[in-house]
């Protein structure tokens, strides 16, 4: 059975095509201003990589904030459920998932099958999200993908007291003016994100077997700071950004199998 998952996020749109338990192809592109266009483009590119056509796909599920903008999807599922299934695919030992996306952050507790037991979400403010890091990277004249390497060069973390994106940016400007080394500012930003995310995790209650998903999981500085804050080892899947889309493809397979019975 061939299924696909499309995760339309605020910053990126991810597509995964699977045949049974095997990932045939995946694509990550910028969402841009039109979620529907991004979804179609990501799906088309993933199909091309897999050497398939749309007619070869048995079922498609859309997830993410733009999931209602995917006209070719058979149904829509929340990203909470999709991240649970996707994380369990990578490791059945996962019980806590920390997902830091473009505009929100989530902590999800799951059972051995990846079913959601409980979750908490911060979607009221961009602080501590991918967008927060994107703004700070621009202010520091860095690409967002350079932040993790920059953190490795820091001897200490600069103090960043505000988590509001606007006020934190002002603090960064002030630290630059004071001559504080850039790596120390970056580490301070990572620590502030880790503090906020750890607070969310502790409110939910941390269960052993922690995995971090989402684009921010590619930033080793954030992962390390969060691991220190939580006092727990954090697993990161090979491509953390596709976990939601992967979970959607897995759920599509289950739903299609049930309908075919």
In three state form, how does the secondary structure of 89-106 look?
HHCCCCCEEEEECCCCEE
What is the DSSP-derived secondary structure letter of residue 232? S
Query: At residue 136, what are phi and psi to the nearest 5 degrees?
Result: -70, -35
DSSP 156-184: S-------SHHHHHHHHHHHHHTT--HHH
Question: Over 80: is that where the pLDDT of 126 sits?
Answer: no
Q: Where are the domains positioned within the chain?
A: 1-91+241-261, 93-236
The chain-wide mean pLDDT, for the chain, equals 93
Which residues on adjacent β-strands are paired with residue 202? none
Query: What confidence score (pLDDT) does residue 19 get?
Result: 97
Query: What confidence score (pLDDT) does residue 93 get?
Result: 95
> Which segments of the chain does DSSP mark as H helices, in order?
35-50, 79-90, 130-139, 147-152, 165-177, 182-204, 220-230, 243-260
- The CB density around residue 40, as the number of other CB atoms within 10 Å, is 19
Length of the chain: 261
Q: Per the structure block, which two tokens stand in for 96?
A: 């806590």
Instruction: Could you please state the CATH topology (level 3) that the domain comprising 93-236 is classified under.
Output: Nucleotidyltransferase; domain 5 (3.30.420)
Question: Over 70: is that where the pLDDT of 219 sits?
Answer: yes
- Sorting pLDDT into bands at 50, 70 and 90, what band is 72? very high
pTM over 0.85: yes
Close Cβ partners of 238 (under 8 Å, ≥ 6 residues apart)? 90
Question: Over 70: is that where the pLDDT of 61 sits?
Answer: yes
Cα 224 to its chain centre, rounded Å, is: 16
Contact between 157 and 181 (Cβ < 8 Å): no
Tens digits of residue pLDDT in 191-215: 989 998 999 999 999 999 999 999 8
Q: Are strands 12-19 and 2-8 parallel, antiparallel or unpaired?
A: antiparallel
- Sorting pLDDT into bands at 50, 70 and 90, what band is 165? confident
Tens digits of residue pLDDT in 22-42: 999 999 999 999 999 999 999
Domain 1-91+241-261 and domain 93-236, same fold? Reply is: yes
What would the CATH number be for the domain defined by 1-91+241-261? 3.30.420.40
What is the DSSP-derived secondary structure letter of residue 71? T
């Amino acid at each position: 059975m061939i299924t696909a998952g499309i995760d339309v996020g605020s910053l990126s749109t991810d597509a995964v095509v699977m045949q049974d338990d095997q990932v045939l192809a995946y694509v990550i592109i910028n969402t841009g201003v039109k979620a529907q266009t991004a979804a179609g483009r990501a799906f088309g590119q993933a199909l091309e990589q897999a050497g398939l056509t749309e007619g070869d796909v048995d079922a498609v599920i859309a997830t993410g904030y733009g999931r209602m903008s995917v006209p070719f999807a058979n149904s829509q599922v929340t990203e909470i459920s999709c991240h649970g299934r996707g994380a369990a695919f990578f490791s059945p030992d996962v019980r806590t998932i920390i997902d830091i996306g473009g505009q929100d952050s989530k902590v999800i507790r799951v059972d051995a099958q990846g079913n959601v037991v409980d979750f908490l979400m911060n979607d009221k403010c961009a602080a501590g999200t991918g967008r927060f890091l994107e703004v700070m990277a621009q202010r520091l004249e860095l690409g967002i993908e350079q932040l993790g390497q920059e953190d490795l060069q820091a001897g200490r973390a600069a103090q960043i007291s505000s988590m509001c994106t606007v006020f934190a940016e002002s603090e960064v400007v002030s630290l630059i003016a004071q001559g504080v080394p850039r790596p120390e500012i970056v580490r301070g930003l990572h620590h502030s994100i880790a503090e906020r995310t750890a607070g969310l995790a502790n409110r939910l209650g941390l269960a052993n077997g922690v995995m971090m998903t989402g684009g921010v999981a590619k930033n080793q500085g954030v992962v390390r700071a969060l691991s220190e804050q939580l006092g727990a080892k954090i697993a990161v899947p090979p491509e953390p950004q596709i976990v939601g889309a992967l979970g959607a493809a897995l759920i599509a397979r289950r739903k299609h199998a049930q309908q075919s019975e």
